Amino acid sequence: MSAAVPSPIAEPIAEAKPAAPRPPWRERLARGLRFARDTFPLTPAGCLLLGGALWALLGPGLGQHDLVLLILGVLGVLVTALSAVLVGVAALLARSGLPQDPVTRETEAGRWTTTGFSAPSLWFLPMVGLTWRWDEPAGEVEVNREGGRLIERVRLTRRGEWPEVRRAFEVEDAFGLASIRFFHVERGAMRALPNTGRLRDVQVVQGLAGGDDREHPLGPAAGDLMDIRRYGPGDPLRFVLWKLYAKSGQLLVRTPERAIAPIKRTVAYLVVGQDDEAAAGAARVAVGLAARSADWAFGADGCHEVARDHGKAEQAILSSGKARPEDGAADLSRFLDAASFGAGGRALVFVPGVPGPWMRKVVEATAGRFTELEFAVCVDGLKPPKARSWLSRALLSEGDDAQKGIDTAALVEVVSTLTRARARVTVLDREGGVVVPSDQLYRLKGAAP
């Protein structure tokens, strides 16, 4: 009997050797060079001007009594020295005028927000400007002048929570001859919740929201006696509206409303992947609706706890912002083992509209676990990319196209893969605030029915 050949899949994967740490002296040298670069006031242009001015002053100016070069040398030295002094004074004043008290700030990812942080405008110093950017977390910054202060507006691109905000400031003169950079760390929590867009007015998930108040024409006749219809053979006489019959002569009876009974045992999960901010926003809406119902559980990639209340579920959504896209759905199977209510329960999984390694993991983790399984594929804008002419492609970059739309082929691939898992698939458009069943995607240009 021949020996069995081991499967290459079953073989242990050799762990990559970690990179050797840098020697301590190199780290200290790098920090010293960065500190010298940031605090040395002259820029390369300023050093070049100062060197040329000194050469003109000490060489031909004084040595050969060239009055033109002498005057140019003196002016060059004075301008460079004045720029360095002004920038140095401005940096000291700006740093001393920054707030030092810890502050807790909250915003929504993808939306411009006035944070309340401000810095001195330095209006009394000529030819000097103050700018800054966010070093951690990363975000776009706009600065507006109001009175004697510079007011900050920021837009973060990713949800998450950080214990502090690190800003990089730069003071520079108008000629670019002198510049000083320094960092300021603002203590206090910074929370960036996912933007819900126009999904606030949409019933994202009925199972988490619960309730019998939404009538459904195909639902069973269950609930309170809210509907009225004409009397028919076999209707109980105790449901007849006798007072209305005495006034109008029409024999009407009360009937139960046709409504879908709420599913109170539901688990929901947020899968991390490329362009998953729309999925995080939809999950945030669902968590807000779930706060009014009972027996539900929520989980997300990057969070190892099962959330059963609104606060912990929102924290799980924030923690998912630090998970890597390639690790999407890595914790889904473990979460379902810990939070599932059994085979009779219902599961809702929020996924991005871009394919990734998470698709195979999701299908394998949810196979045969639930009698009702639904995938919410979340996108921003249910429209294909707008075709651009050769002139617009030549003059504008990709980022200048405001009507970029979505990748229809990628969305159809995601929906097709999840549909084969014998689950209900719904597409949620965060930008438009609409819910589209998967069988209606043919309306998109270029999408197959």
Task: Kindly report which listed range (179-188, 242-251, 252-261, 359-368) carries the lowest average pLDDT score.
Answer: 252-261
pTM exceeds cut of 0.85:
no
Instruction: Give me the percent of the chain exceeding a pLDDT of 90.
Output: 24
Higher-scoring residue by pLDDT: 436, 148: 148
Nearest one of 442, 389, 435, 398 to 416, comparing CA atoms? 442
Q: Above 70 in pLDDT, residue 116?
A: yes
Higher-scoring residue by pLDDT: 177, 222: 177
Q: What is the average pLDDT across 133-153?
A: 90
Q: How confident is the model at residue 217 (pLDDT cuts 50, 70, 90)?
A: very low
The gap between the terminal CA atoms of the chain, to the nearest Å, is 53
CA distance 327 to 276: 13
Per-position DSSP letters for 2-27, written without gaps between them: PPPPPPTTTSPPPPPPPPPPPPHHHH
For residue 137, say if its preceding peptide bond is cis, omega within 30 degrees of 0.
yes
Residue 7 has what pLDDT? 35
Q: How confident is the model at residue 236 (pLDDT cuts 50, 70, 90)?
A: confident
For the chain, which domains are there? 33-193 (no CATH), 199-203+263-443 (3.40.50), 219-255 (no CATH)
Task: Kindly report which listed range (196-200, 234-238, 315-319) carries the lowest average pLDDT score.
Answer: 234-238
Q: How confident is the model at residue 218 (pLDDT cuts 50, 70, 90)?
A: very low
With 0-12 CB in 10 A as exposed, 13-18 as middle and 19+ as buried, what is 31? exposed
CA distance 180 to 167: 14
Q: What is the dihedral of CA 321, 324, 327, 331, to 10 degrees?
A: -30
Q: Above 80 in pLDDT, residue 429?
A: yes
Residue 3 has what pLDDT? 41
Higher-scoring residue by pLDDT: 153, 231: 153
- Give Cα 268 to chain centroid, integer Å: 19
Residue 437 has what pLDDT? 75
What region does 263 belong to: left with phi over 0, alpha with psi -120 to 50, or beta?
beta
Q: Give residue-wise pLDDT tens across range 373-405.
A: 889 999 887 765 555 555 655 555 554 444 455
Q: Give residue-wise pLDDT tens across range 330-351.
A: 888 888 888 766 555 678 899 9
Q: Above 50 in pLDDT, residue 157?
A: yes
Give all strands (DSSP E) within 388-433, no chain letters: 424-429
Q: How confident is the model at residue 257 (pLDDT cuts 50, 70, 90)?
A: low
Q: Give residue-wise pLDDT tens across range 167-203.
A: 999 999 999 999 999 999 988 888 999 998 888 755 5
At 242, which helix (H) or strand (E)?
Answer: helix 242-248
At 142, which helix (H) or strand (E)?
Answer: strand 139-146
